[in-house]
A and B are shown apart, each in its own frame.
Chain A
């Protein structure tokens, strides 16, 4: 692993370094809410997924949803983090109409997951390790609807009480690229684990980004927190803007106010939301309605044993088993669906040890290239894993050449069908019969006596002859057979 160098920002007084930490709120994948039996389905009619507990009716009590605990522990394991066998739920008290209880049940001093680490890949084969400070479980709030009445604000409590994991990084991130890569990697891990769907558009994954700047080697500067970012690109833009804003203030002799800011993507700038003085006093204290959350090491071990293979492990296996480059392997594993597709292709290959690497090239170059061109994702691919495996089998066994295979891929993409049957019916088979090729070779040598004479001194011009033969065979001649035949005929 190479340690990444990070981007410094140039200011009037020299270089500045960014120090970034993130709090990611990831909605736990579960059928029901953290402390009630109500559904977590997205997009229901307002207030259609609200239990008495979620609406904080008098005398209602929370009961922990064990599946949410399992999901948090799985996530902790996926982040190589310490799992705390005993943790405590606290109340975070503040008034807001989307918070029916008047407090959010969260974990303050004793989170369910402690310190961990995520290795993040950057461009050019670099990577950087980002520390995880903690992960805790907490309730989501409801949503205010301002557009239903000219004089009133309405409240939708469907999200109220939905389980969130707050994943807090250490301030190990040093530039926008690392920040984006960190969120991307974390999202990928969560999706592999099946603990969060990672859908940022629906708000299943949101980030609060803490940014400060300093001269390299200097002590930490005062930070600002940019709240509620739900796009990886916006996170990058917001960090760049915010760092430059802070540098400008500092270089003008000013000081940074610790405050909460919001990013406005339409203007490309952050603006102040509330200052430190306006910050709430949340009056955290242990929730007396809930006992401490306790489980055994055996419970953790069982979850660990059933953990799916994660992107880093998968990448290492692809490199070791199929000789993929680290880059190709990381492209394949970045999205869980891509890795699943590639592995399904592998499963269907006649000889995966021989053709595994070729399959990777096909998935990355032909398939992804084509999908990108049409703006589709892997789940909407018209070419199935079975069809692609058949095409690769045909190449691997020498039935068709790579060039013909590309034509075949195009036919399958456009029209569908069984690749092997298509090769038969459309006469795309590679010609390996030497006597059939021999005539073509003889004709071309006869027609080009000058070149044939030169080839003995300039062996590299053999390629020209190969090209001619392939051309007149309509691409169906076996290139290796052509090569050997030419060499013997030309006496080299």
Chain B
């Protein structure tokens, strides 16, 4: 039998339906791959027994002819999603061995549609990071290496475990979350497809919150089609999240292969950064050429407030985070470090439980919201946010269907290489992705080529609100033109 883990999700779905193999076989193949790839540290919790029991259940349902859209498909779940009866930590010491009594809406919809859970995936602590180096479980390795090098690279973050596991064929797809680029940047670093849907498309209920107004769940998969299949199950209105939007979820897969002829694609001039590597510039041009060849029209557009997006993001996101993380106080669940009084207990618990990056952001957030600084920072950042949103609206109002940009300013870098002395160096990774979160728009990262060192690079497409289908159609064009990229196994 061919290696079942190398199938795409769509291929596996066919194999299961044709009874070429069972979900249990498919699941076991992945469990064994996970075991062999522990050096990548992509999974923080493997749940083989639960996986096999869910696979058997899926097989029984398939035998009865009840085929859910994801029946028998083994997936990895970012540790930010609450999973009932399964330890959920957000990769923070402060949650300790927290086991939720509830299942997040997004994952419950995946199980409803027949998917199988292989385990919980590593991520930056509370999704704060761009390299998956802030996890309390340690960094994640990227299955990609520079040609001729043994240096382990980061998979990006915060959904580094998701991207690494999907790229290394440890799961057929994974859930992820994106607050400033946490789906798209790791997807670009690992030659996987990642989509952050429109804010409100997926329920945030049961996902450990980082920055509520920016957080959005989405899938990481190996093809645009696979991502479309996963998003269809993950998305949908949820009365338990009042920011989720009551709009019907279309059949995203139907958008795959749809003609993009006549679509207007914007190329924003502000994304042409000084000192941007020539390879990224070249890739961007190639992407534009592929879309043009498929019949799309390319137009230069202006998003004048782009340069303010990153600084504004690093005010809004920490502000919300400082408040969202106040609940981790050692009183009701998770880590508790005793003290002589309640204040000391708070201080000890939070000093011990939060890592350096989380502490930094809590402090930044507390500062920008404090009396006397609120207007200068938080309020101003919100005004910038409104302007960024308006930039996009103006652009779409001129008939632009989607905007093409690079996904990241560079390829993956080595563990410990960036942000050691200056956290801003790390924050700059999100320069092309944060605008999308600030404006609440959908964005997809699609693998598009390799740099001179053989590392994958990705392009980003930004769409109109709730027009994820356009992104899938365009993403498929790039995927067809660029081809697919698989890392050589070294683990």
B 298-340 contacts with A by CB, 8 A: 319-320, 322-323, 325-327, 329, 331-333
B327 and A101 within 8 A (CB): yes
B327 and A61 within 8 A (CB): no
Chain A residues positioned under 8 Å from B346 (CB to CB): 95
Query: Known: A52-B102, A93-B323, A285-B378. Contact between A59 and B209, CB under 8 A?
Result: yes
Chain A residues positioned under 8 Å from B327 (CB to CB): 56, 58, 100-102
Query: Known: A61-B204, A100-B331, A285-B369. Contact between A95 and B104, CB under 8 A?
Result: no
Q: Select one of A58, A283, A291 contacting B90, CB under 8 A.
A: A58
B49 CB, nearest partner CB in chain A, Å: 24
Task: Confirm or deny: A316 has a beta carbon within 8 angstroms of a beta carbon on chain B.
Answer: no
A61 and B323 within 8 A (CB): no
Task: Confirm or deny: A362 has a beta carbon within 8 angstroms of a beta carbon on chain B.
Answer: no
Task: Confirm or deny: A97 has a beta carbon within 8 angstroms of a beta carbon on chain B.
Answer: yes
B371 and A289 within 8 A (CB): no
B326 and A289 within 8 A (CB): no
**Complex CA distance for A57 and B206, rounded to whole angstroms:** 9
Of the listed stretches B234-242, B259-267, B463-471, chain A binds B234-242
Most A CB contacts (10 A, CB to CB) among B211, B240, B243, B326 go to B326
A283 and B323 within 8 A (CB): yes
Task: Confirm or deny: A60 has a beta carbon within 8 angstroms of a beta carbon on chain B.
Answer: yes
Query: Known: A283-B370, A288-B213. Contact between A61 and B242, CB under 8 A?
Result: yes
Chain B 207-219 near chain A by CB (<8 Å), digits 1 or 0 = 1110111000000
Nearest CB in chain B to that of A91: its residue: B323
B242 and A155 within 8 A (CB): no
Task: Confirm or deny: A281 has a beta carbon within 8 angstroms of a beta carbon on chain B.
Answer: yes
Chain A residues positioned under 8 Å from B366 (CB to CB): 283
| Interface size in chain B (residues, C-beta < 8 A) | 43
Chain B residues positioned under 8 Å from A97 (CB to CB): 329, 331, 342
A155 and B326 within 8 A (CB): no
A288 and B104 within 8 A (CB): no
Task: Confirm or deny: B5 has a beta carbon within 8 angstroms of a beta carbon on chain A.
Answer: no
Task: Confirm or deny: A395 has a beta carbon within 8 angstroms of a beta carbon on chain B.
Answer: no
CB < 8 Å A-B pair total: 94
**Complex CA distance for A56 and B371, rounded to whole angstroms:** 26
B 370-415 contacts with A by CB, 8 A: 370-371, 374, 378
A291 and B243 within 8 A (CB): yes
**Complex CA distance for A291 and B211, rounded to whole angstroms:** 15
- Main SS of chain A's interface residues? loop
B133 CB, nearest partner CB in chain A, Å: 22
Query: Known: A58-B95, A285-B374. Contact between A102 and B326, CB under 8 A?
Result: yes
A59 and B104 within 8 A (CB): yes
Q: Select one of A63, A91, A100, A284 contacting B332, CB under 8 A.
A: A100
Query: Known: A63-B239, A289-B212. Contact between A58 and B323, CB under 8 A?
Result: no
A95 and B329 within 8 A (CB): yes
**Complex CA distance for A103 and B320, rounded to whole angstroms:** 12
Chain A 62-89 near chain B by CB (<8 Å), digits 1 or 0 = 1110000000000000000000000000
A59 and B323 within 8 A (CB): no
Chain B 99-116 near chain A by CB (<8 Å), digits 1 or 0 = 011101000000000000
- Main SS of chain B's interface residues? loop
A55 and B332 within 8 A (CB): yes
Q: Select one of A55, A95, A153, A284 contacting B326, CB under 8 A.
A: A95
Task: Confirm or deny: A290 has a beta carbon within 8 angstroms of a beta carbon on chain B.
Answer: yes
Chain B residues positioned under 8 Å from A285 (CB to CB): 319, 323, 369, 374, 378
**Complex CA distance for A52 and B327, rounded to whole angstroms:** 13
Nearest CB in chain B to that of A55: its residue: B332
Chain B residues positioned under 8 Å from A58 (CB to CB): 82, 88, 90, 95, 98, 100, 208-209, 327
Chain A residues positioned under 8 Å from B432 (CB to CB): none
Chain A 347-380 near chain B by CB (<8 Å), digits 1 or 0 = 0000000000000000000000000000000000
**Complex CA distance for A153 and B167, rounded to whole angstroms:** 50
A59 and B206 within 8 A (CB): yes
Task: Confirm or deny: B354 has a beta carbon within 8 angstroms of a beta carbon on chain A.
Answer: no
Nearest CB in chain B to that of A279: its residue: B371
**Complex CA distance for A93 and B208, rounded to whole angstroms:** 19
**Complex CA distance for A102 and B329, rounded to whole angstroms:** 8
B100 and A57 within 8 A (CB): yes
B335 CB, nearest partner CB in chain A, Å: 13
Chain B residues positioned under 8 Å from A100 (CB to CB): 327, 331-332
**Complex CA distance for A62 and B98, rounded to whole angstroms:** 21
Chain B residues positioned under 8 Å from A291 (CB to CB): 242-243
**Complex CA distance for A113 and B331, rounded to whole angstroms:** 35
B269 CB, nearest partner CB in chain A, Å: 31
Query: Known: A97-B331, A100-B331, A285-B319. Contact between A59 and B82, CB under 8 A?
Result: yes
Task: Confirm or deny: B189 has a beta carbon within 8 angstroms of a beta carbon on chain A.
Answer: no
| Interface size in chain A (residues, C-beta < 8 A) | 30
Task: Confirm or deny: B205 has a beta carbon within 8 angstroms of a beta carbon on chain A.
Answer: yes
Nearest CB in chain A to that of B81: its residue: A59
B323 and A102 within 8 A (CB): yes
Nearest CB in chain B to that of A283: its residue: B369
Chain A residues positioned under 8 Å from B322 (CB to CB): 93, 283
**Complex CA distance for A281 and B322, rounded to whole angstroms:** 14
Chain B residues positioned under 8 Å from A64 (CB to CB): 242
Nearest CB in chain B to that of A287: its residue: B212
Q: Select one of A55, A103, A153, A289 contacting B243, CB under 8 A.
A: A289
B318 CB, nearest partner CB in chain A, Å: 12
Chain A residues positioned under 8 Å from B209 (CB to CB): 58-59, 289
A48 CB, nearest partner CB in chain B, Å: 15
B 214-256 contacts with A by CB, 8 A: 239-243
B 47-102 contacts with A by CB, 8 A: 81-82, 88, 90, 95, 98, 100-102
Chain B residues positioned under 8 Å from A290 (CB to CB): 242-243
Chain A residues positioned under 8 Å from B325 (CB to CB): 102
Chain A residues positioned under 8 Å from B90 (CB to CB): 58
A 4-63 contacts with B by CB, 8 A: 52, 55-63
Chain A residues positioned under 8 Å from B100 (CB to CB): 57-59
Chain A residues positioned under 8 Å from B102 (CB to CB): 52, 57
Most A CB contacts (10 A, CB to CB) among B204, B205, B208 go to B205
**Complex CA distance for A52 and B204, rounded to whole angstroms:** 15
A155 and B370 within 8 A (CB): no
B349 CB, nearest partner CB in chain A, Å: 11
A359 CB, nearest partner CB in chain B, Å: 52
**Complex CA distance for A190 and B98, rounded to whole angstroms:** 43
**Complex CA distance for A56 and B208, rounded to whole angstroms:** 11
A63 and B242 within 8 A (CB): yes
Nearest CB in chain B to that of A155: its residue: B331
B204 and A59 within 8 A (CB): yes
**Complex CA distance for A285 and B459, rounded to whole angstroms:** 35
**Complex CA distance for A102 and B331, rounded to whole angstroms:** 11
Nearest CB in chain A to that of B207: its residue: A59
Chain B 180-211 near chain A by CB (<8 Å), digits 1 or 0 = 00000000000000000000000011111101
Chain A 289-309 near chain B by CB (<8 Å), digits 1 or 0 = 111000000000000000000
**Complex CA distance for A64 and B209, rounded to whole angstroms:** 19
Q: Select one of B205, B331, B369 contacting A60, CB under 8 A.
A: B205
**Complex CA distance for A97 and B331, rounded to whole angstroms:** 7
Query: Known: A52-B102, A58-B208. Contact between A93 and B342, CB under 8 A?
Result: no
Instruction: Show 23 A/B contacts (Cβ-Cβ < 8 Å), sorted by A.
Output: A52-B101, A52-B102, A58-B95, A58-B209, A59-B81, A59-B100, A59-B207, A59-B209, A60-B205, A61-B242, A62-B242, A63-B239, A93-B323, A96-B342, A97-B331, A100-B331, A100-B332, A102-B327, A281-B371, A285-B369, A288-B212, A288-B213, A289-B243
Q: A52-B102, A289-B243 are in contact. List 16 more A-B contacts (CB 8 A).
A: A56-B332, A57-B100, A58-B90, A58-B209, A61-B204, A61-B205, A91-B323, A93-B369, A95-B326, A101-B326, A283-B322, A283-B370, A283-B371, A283-B374, A285-B374, A288-B243
Residues of A within 8 A of B (CB): 52, 55-64, 91, 93, 95-97, 100-103, 153, 155, 281, 283-285, 288-291
Residues of B within 8 A of A (CB): 81-82, 88, 90, 95, 98, 100-102, 104, 204-209, 211-213, 239-243, 319-320, 322-323, 325-327, 329, 331-333, 342, 346, 366, 369-371, 374, 378
